[in-house]
Amino acid sequence: MASANKADYVWMDGKLVPWDAATIHVSSEAVLRAASIFEGMRAYWSDKDKELYIFKNAEHLKRLRQSAKILRLSIPFRDEELTAGFIELLRKLEFKDGVHFRPVVYFDEGEPYAWKPEDISTRVFVLAFSRPHEASISKGMRSCVSTWRRNSDNASPSRLKAAANYHNSRLATVEAKLNGFGTPILLNDRGKVAESPGSCFMMVRDGTVVTPPVTSDILESITRSTLIELYRDELKVPVIEREIDRTELYIADETFFCGSGHEVQPIISVDHYPVGDGKVGPLTRKVQELYFDIAKGNVAKYRKWLTPVYGNKR
């Protein structure tokens, strides 16, 4: 069993551990200096297939390895072992609904700032919780431009999915909430649109989807690449990756966030400027529907993106 933020089990260092026993030491580098990397992944339940599908497992593992490489951290498990761990945990928690799960690799105890991976031990855990769609994905969200800037590549690279980057995310999120908004949009150091605290950004202008390039201080989002592919190949909508100015947010026809956790999240106003007619736009809605259809196993061509958890036959 698992609820929003508690579960009976956690996968830790190769085995299932009861929730209360899943602890790490206060002196670990993860606790002292947020020295960890992670992935935020989803699995989708199909009532029709009686199956839970992990979405783009291989892509998440690849990005986890890229984060590890940048941080010079070695992951003490092979991809197949991690995948088996995800499946073991999700099966044990008997999910039959939408799941969000998070593999975390962290520096444990050792010399602070040890530069050689072998000088400091690394460990892994995986948390999994039920996570239904957020209500705002159907009605849209009011956003704003944050006064905080996104971490820059030469300081604390956003390309690296490190826990420490989410300090920046927290500052921006809390500020936006205090000001009565939903999720904010962060500009980068150059003043161009980067991303949200936990998702990427896309807009539609005159029938073309526009999204910042991966050099705009963003996480190289798996949902972003997925949607670019779906727009081009399935919906026959052109997509451009280019820098976005702040004022383009105020005159765009449609705007939305995308990410594994936040899925396809329409934005209906930015800084109190209505986006388009102030309602969820048609190209946002279309890609959202297609994305969910694929994630739930309804589109044969894209089953290659899914990893079944229970192994039920079709």
Ligand X SMILES: Cc1ncc(COP(=O)(O)O)c(C=O)c1O
Which residue, 83 or 226, has its beta carbon nearer to ligand X? 226
Q: Look up residue 280 and give its two tokens.
A: 């969820």
Determine the interface stretch with ligand X among 97-105, 197-205, 230-238, 286-294 (rule: CB under 6 A).
197-205
Give the number of other Cβ atoms within 10 Å of residue 167's Cβ.
12
| Stretch of residues binding ligand X (CB under 6 A), selected from 87-95, 194-202, 244-252, 276-284 | 194-202
Q: Do 231 and 202 touch, CB atoms closer than 8 A? A: no
Site string for ligand X, 31-70 (x = CB under 6 A): ---------x------------------------------
Binding region for ligand X (CB under 6 A) out of 131-139, 175-183, 191-199, 228-236: 191-199
Q: Which is nearer to ligand X, 57 or 221 (CB)?
A: 221
CB of 150 to ligand X, least distance (A): 8
In the complex with ligand X, the residue whose CB is nearer, 35 or 120, is 35
Q: Is 103 in the site for ligand X (CB under 6 A)?
A: no
User: Does residue 198 belong to the site contacting ligand X (CB under 6 A)?
Assistant: yes
200 interacts with ligand X by CB under 6 A: yes
**Would you count residue 146 as binding ligand X (CB under 6 A)?**
no
259 in contact with ligand X (CB under 6 A): yes
Residue 260 within binding range of ligand X, rule CB under 6 A: yes
Residue 53, CB-side half-sphere exposure with 13 Å CA sphere: 24
Q: Judged by CB under 6 A, which of 36, 173, 199, 255 binds ligand X?
A: 199
Mask for 208-227, x = binds ligand X (CB under 6 A): -----------x-xxxx---
Tokens of 286: 């279309």
Would you say 87 or 200 has its CB closer to ligand X? 200
Q: Write down the least CB distance from residue 25 to ligand X, Å.
A: 26
Question: Shortest approach of ligand X to residue 13 CB, angstroms?
Answer: 24
- Smallest gap from Cβ 305 to ligand X, in A, equals 13
- How many degrees, rounded to 5, is the angle at CA 184 between CA 69 and CA 59? 30
Q: Does 266 bind ligand X (CB under 6 A)?
A: no
Q: Whole-angstrom Cα distance, residue 101 to residue 272?
A: 34
- Residues in contact with ligand X by CB under 6 A are 40, 195, 198-200, 219, 221-224, 259-261
